[in-house]
Chains A and B, each alone.
Chain A
Amino acid sequence: MSSHATRRLILLSLLVLIAAVLTLMNPVFLTAGNLLKLLQEASQTGIVAVGFTLVMISAGIDMSIGGIIALTAMVSINFISYTKLPVYVFVPLTLLVGVAAGFFNGFFITRFKLPEFIVTLATKGILSGLALVIAVKDSMGFVQNVYIQNEAYLWFGSSTFGGLYRTTIAFVLLGVGTQFFLKNTRGGTNIYATGANASAAKLTGISTERTVMGVYVFSGFCASLAAIFISSRMMTAMPELGIGSEMDVIASVVIGGTTFAGGMGDIWGTMIGSVFLALIKNGILKLGISPWIQPIVIGGIIVLTVIIDVWQKKLSDRLATKSKLRKIASAPGRRAA
């Protein structure tokens, strides 16, 4: 427990430290505009990462999120281009893309006991292909770049009072709600139990199938939700939108302290992780370093975090035995030899 708190403290200190260094090197960093934009970027990744965190706590992985984002955006574009449906009708329908994809993933994983990685990777392939198929094309058959002019749709990606982006508000609400769900409800407990020891969870009477199904559906939902905010913010969408975003999402979750082994982690960590990642990316940009090194840095951070986590676990185990000794030493009734 306390090693968990230490980790979080270190992460937060590091966050402040990097922010301070960036401010010193480029004063533009600390402007309200930049910070709000940074939070907005963090939120776009973060919304997906919230769903992904639950998948990872259940000891699974969802490689399909990129495909879900792409297809969701294309479905939206189709609604906008070819129908006159109001936003409050077609956006909920669009969100069903992620929900359906999650069902598909969950069904094959639980019913046929297929490996999560393979199932979701296949889903990603199918969905990104579908995104290309339904993309709006010109008469020559080339994918057309549709500019979104639907005011109601653009509302999602815009900012509100004080320049705070609605994406950020959505992220915080989703994050807080999911954290509460994880830590305070039976459903949340079931996810931890399933991830930590699935056969034990089953023997205890938890329906691990339902739990696994649930996390993939939720992950798909979050990815679709993010797609709405991203496309609205960009005022357009290409069928490649979101493809390759797994990297950033996984980085956010892992930095936040959720482990691949399952049974551990929370949303607070993921929220800090997404801000941390956005900060690094923003810093690379603000310092004028080539953006091409971004993926190298992010990959490096993932590996480094995992190494530090393993190392810290060993350390804390050792400290725990030491403190046990102190208790033994101070306990009365020791036999004088």
Chain B
Amino acid sequence: METKHANGDNLLTCKGVTKSYNGPIVLDNVDFSVRRGEVHALVGENGAGKSTLIKVVTGATGRNSGTITFDGEQMPLEFSRKDAQARGIACIFQELSLIPGMTVAQNIFLAKEPTIGRTRIIDKKKMNHQAQALIDKYKFPLKAEAAIDSISIAQRQLVEILKALSDNAKLMIMDEPTSSLTKTEVEMLFEIIHTLRGEGISVLYISHRMEEVYALSDRVTVLRDGKLVSILNKDMISPAEIIRLMIGHSISEKAVHHRLESKRSPVVLEVENITTVGKFENISFSLHKGEILGLGGLVGSGRTEVVRALYGIDPIDSGSVKFLGTPYVPSVKASIAAGIGFIPEERRLQGILATQTITSNIGIANLDVLAPKGVVSIRKELERAQKGISLLNVKPPDPSHLVGNLSGGNQQKVVLAKWLVRDLKLVFIDEPTVGIDIGAKEEIYEHIRKLSAEGVSILLVSSDLPELTRLADRVLVLRKGRIFHEFKDCVLTGEKILRAASGIIEEAADEA
């Protein structure tokens, strides 16, 4: 498909790049190129090798063979992250790479702090000043001197973006930068990408969201199982075609979830006026058996805080909760015993034991079943692990694989699996499909629907609007820690949810 490989307008050219992390081959003879001033999307299933390819290009990890030419210069077989930065390769990695305990400014300028003269003494004033100037330039809601630990996940992602922008890059690489951003922030990012392209900077963009890929990119590279499938000009191809190339067959979005009839099943969870100072106020709702209740809203609107409190991780200051008709004081222990599950949002931080195998990661959440007398049944543990792996299509499907060595999306799947293989009455799910590829996403939706059909009640937090509209029976929109609007018995659209989340209620209210 690409014959003009050697043409001069390539900024980055990879030829025959092969990489294996002592064992299986992760990148197999990949030819790949990025032109000057283009936005280039890199797509593929979880574990296809996208992050590995950019880690090789950015010097974060080595390669076994193949040549990389950047800006006319051949890169040596071994080069450091720093070498790559110096040549103008900036990157936002999939895993957050910020340092806790430091300020926003310190993080933005980490390892490239402005110094006094030729010394290695940091000019703090100048650093804060430059950081604030950068923040203001892109109109981000941040303060240069704020501590990283005090800002939200979405804000941290913005810091991550600024960190890369401050590199004066020729090539800006972004590995799933939008996965923890909401629509408004995503739009900000898109604007930045357009500006960068206007300035002649190339952007290499990784995303599982096809509408983003399609809206942004000039060319698309598809990777499958570590091999290059093709490089395509966007105007020559449809999103459905990209998906077909990615997973090897086409998928059909299953029909919209059939909504619960107004004749309601019994109430499972009844929440009355719960408040936790500083997090949320006067939240009341009831959740019925087999119902999927969506929680929408902007990042930082208090959705995660509500489910964390209901699961018993954080305290509730006032209000009452009833579970199956009896008063219930949430605590993690009681929740597990009662058959309540929780799939957290920040899965890589809260949900995985990186140095353990898939089997023990899944096993640990199911010890009550696997080891009722204190001794784990290895056989049952393995069975569960295999069930989880096939349920969510984890790659590689090897139960003894260390979770820390899985691709980002596959780590997410393991955390999902660990809860989904349980027998639950009620489950809180926070952003179930962030970073998960399209094929697996449909399977997860299918599974959530199946759970609901079996009578499991589900509280679903999601920033992915189609996800809410396709799955939820009702949607509560939170804003600044309060319930701002409830959508029920109406045709949901992402548009309506977004408007409510942004505080525009008039039009949204019409339908209710």
Binding site for B on A (CB under 8 A): 1, 184-187, 189-190, 192-193, 196-197, 199-207, 263-264, 320-322, 324-325, 328, 334-335, 337
8 CB-based A-B contacts, threshold 8 Å: A184-B122, A196-B101, A201-B110, A203-B95, A207-B80, A263-B101, A322-B278, A328-B480
Of the stretches B22-30, B113-121, B327-335, B465-473, the one at the interface is B113-121
Residues of B within 8 Å of A196, CB to CB, are 99-102
CB of A204 within 8 A of CB of B482, answer no
Chain B, Cβ-Cβ closest to A327 = B278
Evaluate whether A205 and B122 lie within 8 angstroms (CB atoms) in the complex, with A192-B101, A322-B278 already known. Answer: no
Evaluate whether A204 and B101 lie within 8 angstroms (CB atoms) in the complex, with A184-B121, A335-B503 already known. Answer: no
CB of A199 within 8 A of CB of B278, answer no
* B106 interface residue (CB < 8 Å to A): yes
CB of A334 within 8 A of CB of B480, answer yes
Residues of A within 8 Å of B99, CB to CB, are 192-193, 196-197, 200-201, 263
What 8 pairs across the A-B complex have the smallest Cβ distances?
A325-B278, A200-B97, A321-B278, A205-B82, A205-B81, A203-B97, A325-B277, A324-B278
Interface centre among A184, A190, A199 (most CB of B within 10 A): A184
Q: Which of A184, A201, A264, A334 contacts B101 (CB 8 A)?
A: A264
A334 to B112 alpha-carbon distance, docked (Å): 41
A184 to B484 alpha-carbon distance, docked (Å): 47
Chain A, Cβ-Cβ closest to B278 = A325
CB of B97 within 8 A of CB of A185, answer no
A206 to B60 alpha-carbon distance, docked (Å): 11
CB of A189 within 8 A of CB of B122, answer yes
CB of B124 within 8 A of CB of A207, answer no
Q: Which of A184, A190, A334 contacts B111 (CB 8 A)?
A: A190
A325 to B277 alpha-carbon distance, docked (Å): 6
CB of B113 within 8 A of CB of A189, answer yes
Interface size of B in residues (CB-CB distance below 8 Å): 38
A201 to B96 alpha-carbon distance, docked (Å): 11
- Identify whether the interface residues of A are mostly helix, strand, loop, or mixed: helix
CB of B277 within 8 A of CB of A205, answer no
A199 to B94 alpha-carbon distance, docked (Å): 12
Residues of B within 8 Å of A203, CB to CB, are 60, 81, 91, 93, 95, 97
Residues of A within 8 Å of B43, CB to CB, are none
A201 to B120 alpha-carbon distance, docked (Å): 18
Residues of B within 8 Å of A337, CB to CB, are 482
* B387 interface residue (CB < 8 Å to A): no
Known: A205-B81, A205-B85. 8 other contacts (CB 8 A): A185-B120, A189-B111, A189-B122, A202-B60, A205-B82, A264-B101, A328-B278, A337-B482
Q: Which of A184, A187, A204, A335 contacts B110 (CB 8 A)?
A: A204
Evaluate whether A199 and B95 lie within 8 angstroms (CB atoms) in the complex, with A204-B111, A322-B277, A328-B278 already known. Answer: yes
A207 to B481 alpha-carbon distance, docked (Å): 42
CB of A1 within 8 A of CB of B147, answer yes
Chain A, Cβ-Cβ closest to B113 = A186
B53 CB to closest chain A CB (Å) equals 15
Residues of A within 8 Å of B163, CB to CB, are 204
Evaluate whether A321 and B97 lie within 8 angstroms (CB atoms) in the complex, with A207-B82, A328-B481, A334-B480 already known. Answer: no
Chain B, Cβ-Cβ closest to A320 = B150
Residues of A within 8 Å of B482, CB to CB, are 335, 337
B243 CB to closest chain A CB (Å) equals 30
CB of B82 within 8 A of CB of A200, answer no
* B279 interface residue (CB < 8 Å to A): yes
A203 to B93 alpha-carbon distance, docked (Å): 8
Residues of B within 8 Å of A320, CB to CB, are 150
CB of B278 within 8 A of CB of A200, answer no
CB of B60 within 8 A of CB of A186, answer no
Residues of B within 8 Å of A1, CB to CB, are 147
A335 to B482 alpha-carbon distance, docked (Å): 9
* B98 interface residue (CB < 8 Å to A): yes
Residues of A within 8 Å of B122, CB to CB, are 184-186, 189
CB of B277 within 8 A of CB of A186, answer no
B143 CB to closest chain A CB (Å) equals 13
CB of B277 within 8 A of CB of A197, answer no
A155 to B279 alpha-carbon distance, docked (Å): 63
Residues of B within 8 Å of A324, CB to CB, are 278
Residues of A within 8 Å of B278, CB to CB, are 321-322, 324-325, 328
B67 CB to closest chain A CB (Å) equals 23
A111 CB to closest chain B CB (Å) equals 15
CB of A186 within 8 A of CB of B111, answer yes
B316 CB to closest chain A CB (Å) equals 13
A328 to B281 alpha-carbon distance, docked (Å): 11
A206 to B150 alpha-carbon distance, docked (Å): 24
Residues of B within 8 Å of A328, CB to CB, are 278, 480-481
Chain A, Cβ-Cβ closest to B276 = A321
B455 CB to closest chain A CB (Å) equals 34
A207 CB to closest chain B CB (Å) equals 7
A197 CB to closest chain B CB (Å) equals 5
Mask, B216-258, CB within 8 Å of A = 1, is 0000000000000000000000000000000000000000000
